[in-house]
Amino acid sequence: MPAIVAAPRRRAGGPAPAGEPPPWPVGFRCGPARLARPATHDANETPRDERSGLVRFARVQRPGGAGYALVRDTEQGLVAQLIDGVPFGNFTETDQVAPLEQVRLLAPVIPTKVLVVGPDDAIGLPAQSDEVHHEAELAVIIGGLARHVPPDQAGAHIAGYTCANDVTARDLQARDGQWTRAKGFDTFCPLGPWLDTDLDPTQGVRLQCRVNGDTRQDGTTADLVFGVAELVSFCSQFATLLPGDVLLTGTPAGVGPIADGDRVEVDIDGLGTLANSVQAEAG
């Protein structure tokens, strides 16, 4: 079965959907005097609310895009005070304050993916697994928003293709009964070397995997259980696909173990070679 690796999701700016407050209210610049004095905080310093003692951050729509604000409890009610920076590092309080009820709130964080690495980066072998396998695959890169797309229109939503190695902790996959942990370790999804816009996977493009020069997998895209158009269409029925999202399409026979010191190459005709070293992580 194919795996899906989703790029970080971002909610686009622009008009607020019906029933939501508009972006940052025009005209609300400065709040009470005690909030209007900018202050800089480093990662080890957390500003606490004067009334409740709580620290609350909100991700909000602001002019020019999303940003973060401190949520303050004042005598006038809850307000949002914009900050320059992010809650996870250094930031500076600004003098821009607005009633919270008039601010458009967004999801508080944007998840990041650290399982994706590039060419020549190392694949880390986690101490939790004794059986990590390579899986050479064709990766489909989404180029335009796709939702409820029929198969015959899927191509219009594809930016191009690249090589992928869907690294899997096989013992954890069997033990857990599902794939999230087994395929979700840091560095477990090398991609590269580049995005190609001209590849036609319907033509039976050859796909190989070599470990230390020995060929382990050798197949073509004609062997895919599900075609690329079918995959894009299917996934778009339950998840909106955004530009930069990645779909992995399945792997040929021959998957096998990799070990500390190995060099793994995924080669797809027309896409070049994705090469990565393998490195045991400290327990």
**Other beta carbons within 10 Å of 266:** 32
The pair phi, psi for residue 34, each rounded to 5°, is -70, -15
Q: Based on C-alpha coordinates, what's the Rg of the chain?
A: 24
pLDDT of res. 269: 96
What end-to-end distance do the CA atoms of the chain give, in Å? 31
Q: Whose CA is closest to 31, among 66, 68, 82, 104?
A: 82
Spatial distance between the Cα atoms of 233 and 230, rounded to a whole number of angstroms: 5
Do residues 196 and 160 lie in contact, with contact meaning Cβ atoms separated by under 8 Å?
yes
Residue 157 region by backbone torsions, left for phi larger than 0, else alpha for psi between -120 and 50, else beta = alpha
In this structure, what token pair is assigned to residue 58?
């909100």
Q: Is the bond leading into 151 cis (omega within 30 degrees of zero)?
A: no
E strand residue ranges, 8-56: 40-41
Q: State residue 283's pLDDT score.
A: 63
Side-chain-side CA neighbours of 210 within 13 Å: the count stands at 10
Q: What is the pLDDT of residue 262?
A: 99
- Nearest 5°: phi and psi at 178? -155, 175
Say how far residue 155 (Cα) sits from the centre of its chain.
Answer: 22
Taking the chain (283 residues) in runs of 10, the rounded mean pLDDT of each run is: 40 40 47 40 50 68 86 89 84 91 82 80 96 98 95 96 96 93 95 91 97 98 96 98 93 98 97 95 76
47: tokens are 């500003």
**pLDDT attached to residue 87:** 79
- Taking alpha carbons only, the member of 100, 222, 248 closest to residue 165 is 248
- Supply the pLDDT for residue 114: 75
pLDDT of residue 57: 86
pLDDT at residue 40, rounded to an integer: 53
**Residue among 44, 41, 47 at smallest CA distance from 72:** 47
CATH code, 33-106: 2.30.30.370
Report domain extents, the chain. 33-106, 114-280
In b/e form, how buried is each residue of 106-131, taking b as 16+ CB within 10 angstroms?
Answer: beeeeeeeeebbebebebbbbeebeb
Residue 44, C-beta contacts closer than 8 angstroms, at least 6 positions apart: none
- pLDDT of res. 148: 98
Q: What's the topology of domain 114-280?
A: Fumarylacetoacetate hydrolase; domain 2 (3.90.850)
